[in-house]
Amino acid sequence: MQRPLLVSVFIVASCGLAYELIAGALASYLLGDSVMQFSTVIGVYLFAMGIGSWLSKHVVGNLLVRFIQIELLVGLLGGLSAGLLFLLFTLHAGPFRFALYGLVLLIGILVGLEIPLIMRILKREVAFKELVAQVLSFDYIGALAVSVLFPLLLAPHLGLVRSALLFGLLNALVAAWALWLFRAQIGALAVLRAQCVAVIALLAVGFGFAGTFVSLAEANLYNEDIVHAESSAYQRIVVTRWRDETRLYLNHNLQFSSRDEYRYHEALVHPGLAALPGARNVLVLGGGDGMAVREILKYPQVESITLVDLDPRMTELFSQSPLLRELNGGALASPKLRIVNADALQWLEASPETFDFVVADFPDPSNHSLGKLYSTAFYRLLKQHVAETGRIVVQATSPLYARESFWTVVATLEAAGWQTAPYHALVPSFGEWGFILASRREYRPPTTIPVATRFVTPDALPALFHFPADMARIPAEPNRLDNQNLVRVFEREWGRVQAP
């Protein structure tokens, strides 16, 4: 009887670690690439396992029956965990965290019960020292197997929902196997048998339909029709359409909605460029969707535009797709435009060129790599590429939701020796959004906007530069490469916005 139980230790240990990894991966996938997700999930899980092994003392009665039931329950909860969480997230993001940690706690407790129970069962047959050694080594090997297989095979090939179901099935099969092996020592056979069959059937059906389920849920997540979805070398690109509204998501973060992107891009370009009648050469960093280029092309005096975007798939998509070309007015096909697909930092370090106007339209500083694009070092580097009378504009997240982050970027530009003119605009899809103009001399808003605009008009301009009390300047430390305090501040502020 000993060998089968040790084999189950191996499987049980694999499953135990798998649920923890799946929950962690799902949380970071859905809640963003926050460094916190994995650590909190693992913390809660370890804590729960502790509770489980402590509780195991109180498990009495027929230990085999209890073991079988616990296996079924772990299988059921663990197996369905990823699917349930995913579905819940798409329906309503609010209670997601509660459900996530609740489920992790529950599964952790049950998993914590398993090994002590097996030890107690085996104790009747094997000397204790021997027993501990054997059980623990199978436990380790099981956990090790999963930690190796998970990132290499399971997550990429099966996906999280199916992986969870697979491990759930394994747990349930262990239960069924134990039931069969020990049938002589168990009383209420029929009930347990029915429970086994039900759980296995449910999980198997789930496994079969997981694919359909995931695409249904993803559609639910976007609440719109997906017209284009691909994973480039750098990011997940999804374009959706609903009625006459087109949206772009990068890594599940909304980049623009065709309904109000003109507000964003007009605000990004015109306050700076309209005040530079002599601007000939313009540089756009990020912004592979071509919308900022579209606004810049409205200025006849601009002779050349350089667009540096990391991802060639973005610039290809926005040059080729008729739907998207319509949005940027074919800007990416302009003969004035040069497209460079490169890392902006690397490109700037190597390039000798200078520009009259530079647009830095990067993703928000949500991790240390992106944080470099908002550092004193970067803004100093930019300075070498901006003409004496030139100017830059930086998108700088929301001064309302991420107030300290916004003013951190202002402080960073100032520490790098720029004079700043911060402003903001309401873009309904994003909320109140912040921008910063920076130059070597003082900036004065232009009295006319010489090109056609719908939102940024001369009379609207002064209000943009006025910050009401709830967004007004607060003290902030510059973001240097050696502290990257912006990444922490940003994470704290947006974490608060998204929390239930």
Partner 1 sequence: MGQGAGALMRRRDFLAATSAAAALAACGSKAAPPLPPGTLSGANDVLGHRLRRPDLPVPTETRRAAVAIVGGGIGGLSAAWKLARSGCDDFLLLEMESEAGGNSRAGRNEVSAHPLGAHYLPLPPREARATRQLLAELGVLQGDPDAAHPAYDEKYLCHAPQERLYTNGYWQEGLWPTLGVPATERAQYARFQDAVAGLRQRRDPAGRRAFALPLALSSRDPQLLALDRLTMRDWLLGEGYTAPGLFWLVDYACRDDYGTAATQTSAWAGLHYFACRDGEGQVLTAPEGNAWLARGLARAAAGRVLQNALVFRVEQGRKESVCDVYLAAENRSIRVIARELIWAAPQFLIPHVFAAQRPEWLAGIRGAEYAPWIVANLTLSAAPQTRAGQPLAWDNVLHDSAALGYVVATHQQLRYAPAPTVITWYRALHEETAGHQRQLLQSRDAWAAQVLADLARPHPEIRELATRIDIHRHAHAMIRPLPGRLWGGRRRDFERGGAGIQFAHADVSGLSLFEEANYRGVLAAERTLARLGVSFASSL
Q: How many residues bind partner 1 (CB under 8 A)?
A: 50
Which one of the listed residues 361, 364, 459, 482 is annotated catalytic? 361
Q: Which stretch binds partner 1 (CB under 8 A): 123-131, 162-170, 296-304, 474-482?
A: 474-482
First vs last Cα of the chain: how many Å apart?
49
Q: Which of 349, 431, 463, 474 binds partner 1 (CB under 8 A)?
A: 349
Q: Is 498 exposed, middle or buried (0-12, 13-18, 19+ CB in 10 A)?
A: middle
- Nearer CB in complex with partner 1: 313/424: 313
**What's the CA gap between 173 and 151, in Å, rounded?**
24
Distance CA 359, CA 378 (A): 13
What is d(CA 19, CA 41) in angstroms, rounded to the nearest whole number?
Answer: 10
Residue 308 bridge partners (DSSP): 285, 340
Question: Looking at 39-47, 188-196, 217-225, 318-326, which segment touches partner 1 (CB under 8 A)?
Answer: 39-47
Residue 105 binding partner 1, by CB under 8 A: no
**345 is an interface residue for partner 1 by CB under 8 A:** yes
Site string for partner 1, 352-381 (x = CB under 8 A): ---------------xxxx-xx-xxxx--x
Name residues whose C-beta falls within 8 Å of residue 296's C-beta, 6 or more positions apart in sequence: 269, 273, 282, 284, 302, 305, 357, 359
Return the DSSP state at 156: I
CB of residue 348 to partner 1, shortest distance in Å? 8
Segment 296-315, which members bind partner 1 (CB under 8 A)?
A: 310
CB of 115 within 8 A of CB of 12?
yes
| By CB under 8 A, residue 284 contacts partner 1 | no
Does 188 interact with partner 1 (rule: CB under 8 A)?
A: no
Three-state DSSP class for 89? helix
Neighbouring-strand partners of residue 248: 239, 256
Residues 342, 308 contacting (CB under 8 angstroms): yes
The only residue of 5, 31, 53, 214 in contact with partner 1, by rule CB under 8 A: 53
Name the residue among 235, 225, 271 with its Cα closest to residue 461: 271
Edge-to-edge strand order for the sheet containing 386-395?
337-340, 304-308, 281-286, 355-361, 386-395, 431-439, 419-427
Q: Tell me: does residue 236 bind partner 1 (CB under 8 A).
A: no
Residue among 5, 31, 32, 52 that touches partner 1 (CB under 8 A): 52
Asked whether position 253 contacts partner 1 by CB under 8 A, the answer is no
217 near partner 1, rule: CB under 8 A: no
| Closer residue to partner 1 (CB): 24 or 399 | 24
User: Binder to partner 1 among 46, 188, 191, 499 (CB under 8 A)?
Assistant: 46
**β-strand 355-361 against 386-395: which pairing, if any?**
parallel
Task: Provide, rounded to whole angstroms, the least separation between the CB of residue 425 and partner 1.
Answer: 26
- Look up residue 319 and give its two tokens: 């040059």
In the complex, which residues of this chain contact partner 1 (CB under 8 A)? 21, 24, 35, 38-39, 42, 46-47, 49-54, 112, 136, 139-141, 143-145, 147-148, 151-152, 234, 310, 343-346, 349, 367-370, 372-373, 375-378, 381, 480-484, 487
